[in-house]
Amino acid sequence: MCFSRRLFSFLRGPTGFGVVAGTLMVIGTSLLCIYLAASTVRAADLPVRNLTGGARAVHINGFDLWYREVGPMNLGINPAQTLVVIHGGPGMSDHYFGRTLDSLSDRYRVVYYDQRGSGFSQIRPEAGFYRFQYLTDELEALRKRVIRTDRIVLLGHSYGGLVAMKYALDHPSHVAGLILVSSMPPRDYRRLEPDDPRFADRLLHEEPTIADRLLLSSYQRGVIETLFDPTNDTQPDVGYMSYVPGRLLWDSSIGYDYTKGLQNLSTPALIIYGARDSFVEVVPKMLGAALRDSTLVEFSMSGHWAFLEEPTRFLRVVGTFLAHLPQR
Protein backbone atom coordinates (compact mmCIF):
# COMPACT_ATOMS: atom_id res chain seq x y z
CA MET A 1 0.00 0.00 0.00
CA CYS A 2 1.37 3.35 -0.91
CA PHE A 3 0.97 4.76 2.58
CA SER A 4 4.11 6.85 2.95
CA ARG A 5 7.58 7.39 1.65
CA ARG A 6 8.93 5.80 4.80
CA LEU A 7 6.83 2.71 4.26
CA PHE A 8 7.93 2.42 0.63
CA SER A 9 11.50 2.81 1.83
CA PHE A 10 11.09 -0.09 4.22
CA LEU A 11 9.43 -2.38 1.69
CA ARG A 12 11.92 -1.54 -1.02
CA GLY A 13 15.08 -1.21 1.04
CA PRO A 14 16.94 1.57 2.81
CA THR A 15 17.33 3.94 -0.17
CA GLY A 16 13.67 4.59 -0.89
CA PHE A 17 11.96 5.17 -4.24
CA GLY A 18 11.29 7.70 -6.98
CA VAL A 19 8.35 8.61 -9.20
CA VAL A 20 8.88 8.68 -12.96
CA ALA A 21 6.80 10.73 -15.42
CA GLY A 22 4.28 11.57 -12.75
CA THR A 23 3.19 7.93 -12.45
CA LEU A 24 3.66 5.48 -9.62
CA MET A 25 6.74 4.05 -11.30
CA VAL A 26 9.09 2.84 -8.63
CA ILE A 27 12.78 3.20 -9.44
CA GLY A 28 14.01 1.63 -6.21
CA THR A 29 14.91 -2.04 -6.48
CA SER A 30 13.79 -5.02 -4.41
CA LEU A 31 15.05 -8.38 -3.28
CA LEU A 32 14.31 -11.23 -5.61
CA CYS A 33 11.80 -13.70 -4.20
CA ILE A 34 14.14 -16.56 -5.10
CA TYR A 35 16.89 -14.92 -3.08
CA LEU A 36 14.62 -14.46 -0.11
CA ALA A 37 13.22 -17.97 -0.24
CA ALA A 38 16.69 -19.45 -0.39
CA SER A 39 18.05 -17.37 2.47
CA THR A 40 17.55 -17.73 6.19
CA VAL A 41 15.01 -14.88 6.21
CA ARG A 42 11.90 -15.83 8.17
CA ALA A 43 8.71 -14.08 9.14
CA ALA A 44 7.25 -14.02 12.63
CA ASP A 45 5.45 -17.18 13.76
CA LEU A 46 2.12 -16.00 15.15
CA PRO A 47 -1.36 -17.56 15.38
CA VAL A 48 -4.53 -15.81 14.26
CA ARG A 49 -5.32 -13.04 16.77
CA ASN A 50 -7.88 -10.45 17.90
CA LEU A 51 -10.94 -12.66 17.51
CA THR A 52 -13.21 -10.12 19.20
CA GLY A 53 -16.17 -8.01 18.13
CA GLY A 54 -17.62 -10.74 15.93
CA ALA A 55 -14.33 -11.66 14.22
CA ARG A 56 -13.70 -15.33 13.43
CA ALA A 57 -10.99 -17.56 12.04
CA VAL A 58 -11.16 -19.88 9.05
CA HIS A 59 -8.45 -22.19 7.74
CA ILE A 60 -7.76 -21.33 4.09
CA ASN A 61 -4.93 -22.77 1.99
CA GLY A 62 -2.67 -23.47 4.96
CA PHE A 63 -3.39 -20.31 6.98
CA ASP A 64 -5.88 -19.40 9.69
CA LEU A 65 -7.36 -16.18 8.33
CA TRP A 66 -9.00 -13.48 10.43
CA TYR A 67 -12.36 -12.33 9.07
CA ARG A 68 -15.41 -10.39 10.16
CA GLU A 69 -18.75 -9.90 8.47
CA VAL A 70 -21.75 -7.69 9.10
CA GLY A 71 -25.14 -7.39 7.47
CA PRO A 72 -27.69 -9.94 6.26
CA MET A 73 -26.36 -13.43 5.58
CA ASN A 74 -29.25 -14.71 3.46
CA LEU A 75 -29.16 -12.62 0.30
CA GLY A 76 -30.66 -15.06 -2.16
CA ILE A 77 -29.23 -14.81 -5.66
CA ASN A 78 -28.44 -11.09 -5.75
CA PRO A 79 -24.68 -10.84 -6.35
CA ALA A 80 -24.58 -7.10 -5.81
CA GLN A 81 -25.33 -7.43 -2.11
CA THR A 82 -22.05 -8.92 -0.87
CA LEU A 83 -19.11 -6.52 -0.56
CA VAL A 84 -15.66 -8.00 0.16
CA VAL A 85 -13.13 -5.51 1.54
CA ILE A 86 -9.47 -6.02 0.56
CA HIS A 87 -6.79 -4.22 2.55
CA GLY A 88 -3.51 -2.99 1.18
CA GLY A 89 0.07 -3.17 2.31
CA PRO A 90 0.87 -5.85 1.65
CA GLY A 91 1.19 -6.91 5.26
CA MET A 92 -1.45 -4.52 6.63
CA SER A 93 -4.96 -5.27 7.91
CA ASP A 94 -8.63 -4.52 7.25
CA HIS A 95 -8.48 -3.08 10.76
CA TYR A 96 -7.71 0.35 9.31
CA PHE A 97 -11.18 0.59 7.74
CA GLY A 98 -12.55 0.79 11.27
CA ARG A 99 -16.35 0.53 11.36
CA THR A 100 -16.93 2.97 8.52
CA LEU A 101 -18.22 0.45 5.99
CA ASP A 102 -20.39 -1.23 8.63
CA SER A 103 -22.91 1.51 7.88
CA LEU A 104 -23.72 -0.31 4.65
CA SER A 105 -24.83 -3.40 6.56
CA ASP A 106 -28.48 -2.38 6.64
CA ARG A 107 -28.66 -3.28 2.94
CA TYR A 108 -25.50 -5.21 2.15
CA ARG A 109 -23.37 -7.99 3.54
CA VAL A 110 -19.87 -6.64 4.20
CA VAL A 111 -16.99 -9.11 4.62
CA TYR A 112 -13.60 -8.05 5.94
CA TYR A 113 -10.57 -10.33 6.05
CA ASP A 114 -6.81 -10.15 6.60
CA GLN A 115 -4.62 -11.80 4.00
CA ARG A 116 -2.10 -14.53 4.83
CA GLY A 117 0.74 -13.25 6.97
CA SER A 118 -1.00 -9.92 7.37
CA GLY A 119 -2.72 -8.05 10.15
CA PHE A 120 -4.41 -10.44 12.58
CA SER A 121 -4.31 -13.52 10.36
CA GLN A 122 -1.83 -16.29 11.03
CA ILE A 123 1.78 -15.50 10.19
CA ARG A 124 3.87 -18.50 9.23
CA PRO A 125 7.66 -18.17 9.18
CA GLU A 126 8.48 -19.90 5.89
CA ALA A 127 9.24 -17.47 3.05
CA GLY A 128 7.76 -19.75 0.39
CA PHE A 129 4.21 -19.07 1.57
CA TYR A 130 4.23 -15.47 0.37
CA ARG A 131 3.60 -15.02 -3.34
CA PHE A 132 1.19 -12.54 -4.89
CA GLN A 133 -0.78 -15.23 -6.75
CA TYR A 134 -1.56 -16.89 -3.42
CA LEU A 135 -3.58 -13.81 -2.38
CA THR A 136 -6.08 -14.21 -5.20
CA ASP A 137 -6.16 -17.98 -4.69
CA GLU A 138 -7.07 -17.55 -1.02
CA LEU A 139 -9.74 -14.98 -1.88
CA GLU A 140 -11.37 -17.50 -4.21
CA ALA A 141 -11.21 -20.16 -1.47
CA LEU A 142 -12.72 -17.65 0.97
CA ARG A 143 -15.57 -16.99 -1.48
CA LYS A 144 -16.32 -20.70 -1.69
CA ARG A 145 -15.98 -21.62 1.98
CA VAL A 146 -17.10 -18.55 3.92
CA ILE A 147 -18.97 -16.18 1.63
CA ARG A 148 -20.71 -18.91 -0.35
CA THR A 149 -22.18 -16.70 -3.05
CA ASP A 150 -21.51 -17.11 -6.73
CA ARG A 151 -20.64 -13.47 -7.34
CA ILE A 152 -19.24 -10.73 -5.14
CA VAL A 153 -18.35 -7.04 -5.26
CA LEU A 154 -14.71 -6.26 -4.45
CA LEU A 155 -13.53 -3.10 -2.70
CA GLY A 156 -9.75 -2.92 -2.88
CA HIS A 157 -7.74 -0.15 -1.29
CA SER A 158 -4.20 0.72 -2.43
CA TYR A 159 -2.32 -2.57 -2.89
CA GLY A 160 -5.66 -4.25 -2.27
CA GLY A 161 -6.77 -2.73 -5.57
CA LEU A 162 -4.10 -4.82 -7.26
CA VAL A 163 -5.45 -7.96 -5.57
CA ALA A 164 -8.98 -7.03 -6.68
CA MET A 165 -7.87 -6.52 -10.29
CA LYS A 166 -6.01 -9.82 -10.41
CA TYR A 167 -8.93 -11.69 -8.88
CA ALA A 168 -11.31 -10.13 -11.43
CA LEU A 169 -9.01 -11.29 -14.24
CA ASP A 170 -8.65 -14.79 -12.79
CA HIS A 171 -12.35 -15.20 -11.93
CA PRO A 172 -14.38 -12.71 -14.00
CA SER A 173 -17.61 -14.68 -13.71
CA HIS A 174 -17.53 -14.28 -9.92
CA VAL A 175 -17.16 -10.48 -9.83
CA ALA A 176 -20.30 -8.34 -9.96
CA GLY A 177 -18.47 -5.05 -9.45
CA LEU A 178 -15.08 -3.48 -8.70
CA ILE A 179 -14.45 -0.57 -6.35
CA LEU A 180 -10.84 0.63 -6.49
CA VAL A 181 -9.85 3.15 -3.83
CA SER A 182 -6.47 4.91 -4.16
CA SER A 183 -5.43 1.83 -6.07
CA MET A 184 -2.15 0.70 -7.54
CA PRO A 185 -1.91 1.25 -11.32
CA PRO A 186 -2.92 -1.38 -13.90
CA ARG A 187 0.69 -1.65 -15.05
CA ASP A 188 3.94 -1.83 -13.08
CA TYR A 189 7.09 -0.11 -14.29
CA ARG A 190 9.49 -1.35 -11.67
CA ARG A 191 12.74 -2.97 -12.68
CA LEU A 192 15.04 -5.37 -10.87
CA GLU A 193 18.78 -4.85 -10.78
CA PRO A 194 20.29 -7.89 -9.04
CA ASP A 195 23.67 -6.23 -8.42
CA ASP A 196 22.20 -3.20 -6.71
CA PRO A 197 23.72 -2.59 -3.24
CA ARG A 198 20.23 -2.11 -1.85
CA PHE A 199 19.98 -5.88 -1.65
CA ALA A 200 21.61 -5.46 1.78
CA ASP A 201 18.54 -4.83 3.91
CA ARG A 202 19.22 -4.93 7.62
CA LEU A 203 15.57 -5.53 8.56
CA LEU A 204 15.57 -8.84 6.73
CA HIS A 205 18.10 -10.08 9.26
CA GLU A 206 16.43 -8.71 12.37
CA GLU A 207 14.43 -10.90 14.69
CA PRO A 208 11.03 -11.03 12.89
CA THR A 209 8.86 -9.34 15.51
CA ILE A 210 11.46 -6.58 15.89
CA ALA A 211 11.36 -5.94 12.14
CA ASP A 212 7.56 -5.80 12.36
CA ARG A 213 7.70 -3.22 15.14
CA LEU A 214 10.21 -1.11 13.23
CA LEU A 215 7.97 -1.13 10.18
CA LEU A 216 4.96 -0.07 12.23
CA SER A 217 6.96 2.69 13.90
CA SER A 218 8.11 3.98 10.52
CA TYR A 219 4.56 3.93 9.20
CA GLN A 220 3.26 5.83 12.22
CA ARG A 221 5.84 8.57 11.63
CA GLY A 222 5.11 8.82 7.93
CA VAL A 223 1.31 8.49 7.75
CA ILE A 224 0.86 12.25 8.12
CA GLU A 225 2.19 12.59 4.56
CA THR A 226 -0.77 10.65 3.20
CA LEU A 227 -3.55 12.73 4.78
CA PHE A 228 -5.30 15.70 3.21
CA ASP A 229 -5.18 17.52 6.53
CA PRO A 230 -2.06 16.74 8.60
CA THR A 231 -3.84 18.00 11.74
CA ASN A 232 -6.70 15.55 11.29
CA ASP A 233 -7.11 13.29 14.30
CA THR A 234 -8.59 10.57 12.09
CA GLN A 235 -5.50 8.53 11.31
CA PRO A 236 -5.64 4.91 10.11
CA ASP A 237 -4.93 2.21 12.67
CA VAL A 238 -3.50 -0.75 10.79
CA GLY A 239 -3.21 -3.10 13.74
CA TYR A 240 -0.28 -5.50 13.40
CA MET A 241 2.11 -4.98 10.47
CA SER A 242 4.22 -7.81 9.03
CA TYR A 243 7.52 -6.89 7.42
CA VAL A 244 8.84 -10.07 5.79
CA PRO A 245 5.47 -11.26 4.35
CA GLY A 246 4.82 -7.75 3.06
CA ARG A 247 8.25 -7.56 1.47
CA LEU A 248 7.92 -10.98 -0.18
CA LEU A 249 4.41 -10.33 -1.48
CA TRP A 250 5.43 -6.92 -2.78
CA ASP A 251 8.47 -8.27 -4.59
CA SER A 252 6.54 -11.14 -6.16
CA SER A 253 4.18 -8.69 -7.88
CA ILE A 254 6.96 -6.80 -9.68
CA GLY A 255 6.49 -6.35 -13.42
CA TYR A 256 2.76 -7.07 -13.71
CA ASP A 257 0.74 -5.63 -16.59
CA TYR A 258 -3.03 -6.08 -16.44
CA THR A 259 -3.90 -3.37 -18.95
CA LYS A 260 -5.04 -5.60 -21.81
CA GLY A 261 -6.86 -7.98 -19.52
CA LEU A 262 -8.78 -5.19 -17.84
CA GLN A 263 -9.76 -3.76 -21.22
CA ASN A 264 -11.60 -7.02 -21.91
CA LEU A 265 -13.57 -6.90 -18.67
CA SER A 266 -17.19 -5.80 -18.79
CA THR A 267 -17.41 -5.56 -15.00
CA PRO A 268 -18.77 -2.21 -13.72
CA ALA A 269 -16.05 -0.35 -11.81
CA LEU A 270 -15.94 2.61 -9.45
CA ILE A 271 -12.58 4.37 -9.15
CA ILE A 272 -12.18 6.59 -6.08
CA TYR A 273 -9.16 8.76 -5.42
CA GLY A 274 -8.19 11.60 -3.13
CA ALA A 275 -7.09 14.91 -4.67
CA ARG A 276 -4.14 15.05 -2.26
CA ASP A 277 -2.98 11.47 -2.71
CA SER A 278 0.47 12.26 -4.08
CA PHE A 279 1.28 8.61 -4.73
CA VAL A 280 -1.46 8.00 -7.29
CA GLU A 281 -1.69 11.29 -9.16
CA VAL A 282 -2.26 9.80 -12.62
CA VAL A 283 -3.30 6.26 -11.70
CA PRO A 284 -7.07 6.98 -11.71
CA LYS A 285 -6.92 8.03 -15.37
CA MET A 286 -4.88 4.94 -16.21
CA LEU A 287 -7.48 2.75 -14.54
CA GLY A 288 -10.33 4.62 -16.17
CA ALA A 289 -8.77 4.08 -19.59
CA ALA A 290 -8.27 0.36 -18.92
CA LEU A 291 -11.73 -0.35 -17.45
CA ARG A 292 -14.32 0.44 -20.10
CA ASP A 293 -17.33 0.46 -17.77
CA SER A 294 -15.88 2.69 -15.06
CA THR A 295 -16.72 5.86 -13.16
CA LEU A 296 -14.05 8.11 -11.64
CA VAL A 297 -14.85 10.06 -8.49
CA GLU A 298 -12.43 12.52 -6.94
CA PHE A 299 -12.58 13.30 -3.23
CA SER A 300 -11.33 16.87 -3.01
CA MET A 301 -10.63 16.82 0.74
CA SER A 302 -8.91 13.44 0.95
CA GLY A 303 -5.46 11.99 0.59
CA HIS A 304 -5.00 8.21 0.60
CA TRP A 305 -7.90 7.51 2.97
CA ALA A 306 -11.18 8.82 1.53
CA PHE A 307 -13.23 6.36 3.62
CA LEU A 308 -11.78 7.92 6.79
CA GLU A 309 -11.33 11.52 5.65
CA GLU A 310 -14.72 11.97 3.95
CA PRO A 311 -16.74 9.03 5.31
CA THR A 312 -20.23 10.42 4.71
CA ARG A 313 -19.61 11.14 1.05
CA PHE A 314 -17.67 7.90 0.63
CA LEU A 315 -20.58 5.83 1.88
CA ARG A 316 -23.01 7.74 -0.33
CA VAL A 317 -20.89 7.22 -3.46
CA VAL A 318 -20.28 3.53 -2.76
CA GLY A 319 -23.93 2.98 -1.84
CA THR A 320 -25.10 4.56 -5.09
CA PHE A 321 -22.71 2.39 -7.10
CA LEU A 322 -23.90 -0.77 -5.36
CA ALA A 323 -27.55 0.15 -5.81
CA HIS A 324 -27.13 0.46 -9.57
CA LEU A 325 -25.26 -2.79 -10.17
CA PRO A 326 -27.10 -5.47 -12.16
CA GLN A 327 -28.99 -7.68 -9.74
CA ARG A 328 -28.06 -10.94 -11.44
Length of the chain as a residue count: 328
Count structural domains, the chain: 1
Phi then psi for 18, rounded to 5 degrees? Answer: -135, 165
Q: Which domain holds residue 242?
A: 5-323
pLDDT, position 5? 42
Identify whether 270 is part of a domain: yes
Q: Are 7 and 226 in contact (CB under 8 A)?
A: no
| Count of CA atoms in the C-beta half-sphere (13 A) of 152 | 26
For residue 192, is it within any domain?
A: yes
Q: Tell whether 181 is covered by a domain.
A: yes
Is residue 93 within 8 Å of residue 118, measured between CB atoms?
Answer: yes
- From first to last of its 328 residues, the chain has per-residue pLDDT tens of 444 344 444 444 433 323 322 333 222 223 333 334 445 678 999 999 999 999 999 999 999 999 999 998 765 545 558 999 999 999 999 999 999 999 999 999 999 999 999 999 999 999 999 999 999 999 999 999 999 999 999 999 999 999 999 999 999 999 999 999 999 999 987 665 545 444 346 677 789 999 999 989 888 888 888 888 887 777 788 889 999 999 899 889 988 999 999 999 999 999 999 998 866 668 999 999 999 999 999 999 999 999 999 999 999 999 999 999 987 6
Q: What is the pLDDT of residue 49?
A: 96
Does residue 328 form part of some domain? no
Chain centre to alpha carbon of residue 134: 14
How far is it, in rounded angstroms, from Cα 308 to Cα 182? 13
Whether this model's pTM surpasses 0.75: yes
The three-class DSSP label of residue 142 is helix
Q: Is the peptide bond before 90 cis (omega within 30 degrees of 0)?
A: yes
Separation of alpha carbons 147 and 141, rounded Å: 9
- pLDDT recorded at residue 14: 38
CATH of the domain at 167: 3.40.50.1820
